[in-house]
Chains A and B, each alone.
Chain A
Amino acid sequence: MKHEQQHNPPMKYGMAIDLDKCTGCGACMVACMSENNIPFREDESDKLVSISWMSVFKLTNGKAFPDTEICYLPRPCQHCEGHGGHSPCVSVCPATATDYSAETGIVSQIYTRCFGCRYCMGACPYHARYFNWWDPVWPEGMEKYLSPNVSPRMRGVVEKCSFCFHRYQLAKNKAYLNDERTVPEAAYQTACTQACPAGAIVFGDLNNPAHQVHQIVKPDPRKGNKSRNPRAFRLLERLGTNPKVYYLSSREWVRRAGDNYLAHEKTGQVSNVHH
């Protein structure tokens, strides 16, 4: 919620993930792990203690054979804006270790500030936050591939997707050196967006009409940034978390799975967004 000095109108980085295209291949997860020095352990099958900033959920329509359908849903941190930057996690962190940037709309996480109370994890309905239950240990030799752009986290702190914020910093520096006023769309892309072989992820500034993500999402600021695209939805939109990750699906059951609805309510049409 800090207000940095600004020369440009504030940006709002966000994503549009096309679930029609997503194949659940997992490249986004590993691209993220590789980009962000995410540790791993011998047994990662207990998904409740496994760290994966980008996590791919498998949704089913609940119907029996042969009417069963599957949809994969990649879930990075939703970088909720909440109301005026009061995202669920930012507002609860007692030590200001996580913050909402008014410049970029990115929810940050300062690992060396976090003391591991895990309140933010309880606050996040998306389970986008992960705790380092163990010291990160790389098998001998493997620490060679660690990237200096993202510091490995110590035991006892919470971590999460940063929209590859280090890439923004690099792009911003480069733009500055090139005398560009803004960071060009192509210059700042997250690792998952870049890797996705299906091209299902589009990333950019939701405030910038020139950016593809804006054109796809067409956010409506009068309706709490709800998308004007009939295929689009956000996860748990009606809670008022105001996330910046939008999903697209042509399937009604998938869009409905994105939020809680009472039996009589129509998908995508709820009376009032909370807050």
Chain B
Amino acid sequence: MKVDRRSFLSFVIGGAAGTALSPLPWKLIDDSSIWSQMWPWTPVPPDGEVVYEDSTCSLCPGGCGISVRKVDNRAVKIEGKKGHPVNDGGICILGLSGLQLLYGPTRIKTPMKRIGERGEGKWRKISWDEATAILTEKLTDIRNRGEAHTVAAIAESDSGTVPALLQRFMTAYGSPNFIRTSSQVDADELAVKTLFGATGRAGFDLENADYVLSFGAGLVDGWGSPVRMFRAGSLWKEKNVAVVQVEPRLSNSAAKATRWVPINPGTEADLALGIAAVLVSQNMVDTGGVSGFGSWKSDLLSNYPTQKVSQTTGVAADVIVDLAKGFAKADRPLALCGRGKGLVAGSLRETAAVYALNALAGNINRTGGMWAVPESDYIQWPKAATDKLASAGLRQPRIDGAGAGRYADSRYLPNRLADGVNGEGPYPLQVLLVAGANPCHDLPDSKNVRAAFARIPFIVSFSSFNDETSAMADLLLPDHVYLERYEDVPVGAGLARQVIGLSRPVVSAQFNTRHLGETVIAAARAMGGSIADAFPWPDYETCLEETLGEKWDTLMETGVWVENDIDPVADTVRLAGMDAPAIQAEGDVDRFPLLLVPYDSIRISGGTIGDPPFMIKTVADTVIKGKDGFVEVNPQTASAAGLTEGDMATLSTPRGEVRVRIHLFEGIKPGVAAMARGLGHTAYDGYLAEKGVNVNELIGPVEDPSSGHDAAWGIRAKLAKA
């Protein structure tokens, strides 16, 4: 067939017209839009049966009840548990992010043994049997050499069955070195012991108070049990309760308070004693519940005249008098302390001074007052029998020096661990067990801590996450995360009652991890002898059920056990512990003209848990921008250094130097610089790592002369244009 131009054109035009009129192009257009609605790389969450399972959150000491929504076997949402005595349906930002921790890529998925250099991140996956064998062989070796005391364990808590099992293991093994990470709990316990003469903790009946005087306690920044605090804050608003926040920086707590009293950092104790002096001098005290008032009174009045206190604290004299009057006039005033979230122990002087205010107001063990709450005592195990090796080890001094000599009053001194390991201790440390703690990030003076960890020949991490400390470990024995395990959660956190929550596995273990309790029991059994004898339980669940006894049924049924009727450890407060010198910031005033203070934010997890992606997403761009962290200064301070908003600056302290950006904030005292705590991680994943600065790189511990606890509230610093 001959194709001429005409027929060719007709064919082309006809063909085009025909195709256009056929359904084909329309179908293709439609298909493309459907395809664009279901791109295969956009996940489609499978549907299924919805159930709610209750448990207790243990991401912080708050002890909130949670209700986890599940779709088939997937946990999809964590909500606050309605009617729970701590949080009644409310939940905090960290609790809400829990599923990102459970399912996140920062989990350690299986036991592993280091094969590369330390910190290099090269690991070999091993079985649990092999892992337990490595651990127990190592420990048995050391013990058989009579060096059981050279093993130390560091844990976030010492209450509840899991820490108790670890402590028991250390005792049966023969090491005095069980260390609890530092927090306000240290100073609180010591203050209660000093003032009440008995072991216990302070509980605050915040809900019934009618005047709240907070010496830097981050009432809505994560202090105490955070959700309970938010609820109390709203209650105070409804009841028009006066809330005074004493703090150098306009924190969220200060912003929510009815009155913000800016103060020179570190002088809170002076203000508390100054107020006490006003109360005493104006005869506004109730001395019914205090002892030793006579001698204390004259010291107080001579040492803390209002004018002098005003000079020290930077708080005007009339304000001091005003605060004293407000406190005295109130029916149920409460004074609180513990900076920010209370992540640093703090000094006995300060804690005792603030607690003394409560005593002078006659508000001890009363509605709306401060309670001396006994420690929970449901763990009644027979004392672990110690063989000769163990007894010998236990007679050795602790690596951190706690409980003896000048540190006789302290139980744990994690702030002294690094120095102890670095040569100041009585002996070199051979093994460190780390459970639920991240000392490589959280201890002050990170450089020193890293040096110490480098000296410890064998580090075992039980962490569920790739944190800074597991990165330094030699053996990883990952624990379940809280949503995968049973555990009792005794709640302190300033509650004026005794509460025990129960964590229950909401989902089955996602990875090849093992409950820390099981790991400890298995290790003990593998080591045999008196160590095995101290652990008669076949598994952790049995141990837990037997330990909780009659509480077990209540806990299984309601998830929480509450004792509202508190039998206080004592009723009389002996006024003491306030005569130590004030804690000074480290550094030379001339070289370091500024004061750097860390601040806590509820959106930045300050404890062991690193911020999950959701939380980091909520952090303002004036705290982190890209990888850069910010330091907050008053515009006056900045302009003196020739700096403006967003400028890159060098921030140096006696302990270190970092590059940061400047954020101008009118709500901070001139001469003070503030930096968020909890950032500057090097481990975890790209969502968290390398963002901002770890303030612990810049701040070192400062020992409280009364106890040895870390009482650092800041450090001297210098800002310069970078």
Contact = CB atoms under 8 A, between A and B. Distances in A.
A64 B436 CA distance: 43
Contacts of A145: 74-77, 99-100, 102-103
A23 B603 contact: no
Interface stretch (B168-176, B464-472, B610-618): B610-618
Given A34-B78, A34-B99, A148-B71, A26 B618 contact: yes
Contacts of B28: none
A142 B102 CA distance: 8
A71 B69 CA distance: 33
B626 A148 contact: no
Given A198-B233, A198-B234, A148 B45 contact: yes
A63 interface: yes
Interface stretch (B123-131, B249-257, B277-285, B403-411): B249-257
B687 A30 contact: no
A273 interface: no
Given A45-B624, A52-B617, A21 B36 contact: no
Given A21-B237, A197-B92, A26 B37 contact: no
Given A45-B624, A66-B262, A141-B103, A135 B602 contact: no
B232 to A, nearest CB: 10
Contacts of B636: 65
Contact of B93 (A21, A26, A44, A143): A26
B43 A143 contact: yes
Contacts of A148: 45-48, 71, 76
Given A26-B618, A42-B686, A194 B79 contact: yes
B449 interface: no
B621 A47 contact: yes
B42 A154 contact: yes
B104 interface: yes
A45 B630 CA distance: 12
A257 B618 CA distance: 22
Interface string B227-238: 100110110010
A135 B105 CA distance: 19
A53 B97 CA distance: 16
- Which residue, B47, B80, B96, B97, has most C-beta atoms of chain A within 10 A? B96
Contacts of A144: 74-75, 103
A87 B182 CA distance: 54
Contacts of A151: 44-45
Contacts of A140: 105
Interface in B237-272: 237, 250, 252, 255-256, 260, 262
Interface in B657-705: 666-670, 685-687, 691
Interface in A186-202: 191, 194-200
A20 B87 CA distance: 20
A146 interface: yes
B226 A143 contact: no
Nearest to A194: B79
B200 interface: no
Interface in B82-124: 87, 89-93, 96-97, 99-100, 102-105, 107
B21 interface: no
Contacts of A31: 91, 96
Contacts of A196: 90
A143 B41 CA distance: 12
B634 interface: yes
B231 A199 contact: yes
Contact of A23 (B71, B78, B256, B634): B256
B79 A26 contact: no
Nearest to B79: A194
A210 interface: no
Contacts of B69: 147
Given A65-B668, A139-B104, A145-B75, A21 B234 contact: yes
B329 interface: no
A240 B234 CA distance: 32
Given A65-B670, A197-B91, A42 B687 contact: yes
A40 interface: yes
Interface string B164-195: 00000000000000000000000000000000
Contacts of A63: 666
A142 to B, nearest CB: 5
Contacts of A71: 255
A70 B620 contact: no
A35 interface: yes
B434 interface: no
B625 interface: yes
Interface residues on A, range: 35 or more
Given A26-B602, A34-B78, A145-B75, A154 B104 contact: no
B96 A64 contact: no
A21 B240 CA distance: 12
B91 A27 contact: yes
B220 interface: yes
A26 B621 contact: no
Contacts of A154: 36-37, 39, 42
Contact of B687 (A40, A66, A152): A40
B90 A135 contact: no
A140 B616 CA distance: 18
Interface in B290-307: none
A25 interface: yes
A236 interface: no
Contact of A30 (B36, B45, B615): B615
B250 A21 contact: no
A50 B613 CA distance: 12
A40 B614 contact: yes
A155 B104 CA distance: 23
Contact of B76 (A26, A147, A200): A147
B262 A65 contact: yes
A112 interface: yes
A145 B613 CA distance: 14
Given A26-B603, A43-B626, A136-B42, A197 B87 contact: yes
Contacts of B220: 23, 25, 198
A47 B99 CA distance: 24
A198 B220 CA distance: 9
B614 A30 contact: yes
- Which residue, A50, A56, A58, A144, has most C-beta atoms of chain B within 10 A? A144
Contacts of B613: 40, 44, 139
Nearest to B665: A68
B96 A27 contact: yes
A20 B80 CA distance: 22
A153 B99 CA distance: 20
A68 to B, nearest CB: 4
A21 B686 CA distance: 34
Contacts of A37: 45
Nearest to A146: B45
Contacts of B686: 42
A135 B39 contact: yes
Contacts of A52: 617-618
Given A141-B105, A148-B46, A151-B44, 11 more contacts: A23-B252, A26-B93, A29-B93, A30-B96, A34-B77, A40-B617, A147-B76, A154-B37, A197-B90, A198-B233, A200-B234
Closest 9 CB pairs of A and B: A197-B90, A197-B230, A146-B45, A70-B255, A23-B220, A145-B99, A26-B618, A112-B37, A68-B667
15 contacts: A18-B234, A25-B602, A30-B615, A46-B625, A56-B618, A60-B667, A65-B636, A70-B255, A72-B252, A141-B104, A147-B45, A152-B42, A152-B45, A191-B77, A198-B90
Interface of B: 36-37, 39, 41-48, 69, 71, 74-80, 87, 89-93, 96-97, 99-100, 102-105, 107, 220, 226-227, 230-231, 233-234, 237, 250, 252, 255-256, 260, 262, 510, 602-603, 613-621, 624-626, 634-636, 666-670, 685-687, 691
Interface of A: 18, 20-21, 23-27, 29-31, 33-35, 37, 40, 42-47, 50, 52, 56, 58, 60, 63-66, 68-72, 112, 135-148, 151-155, 191, 194-200
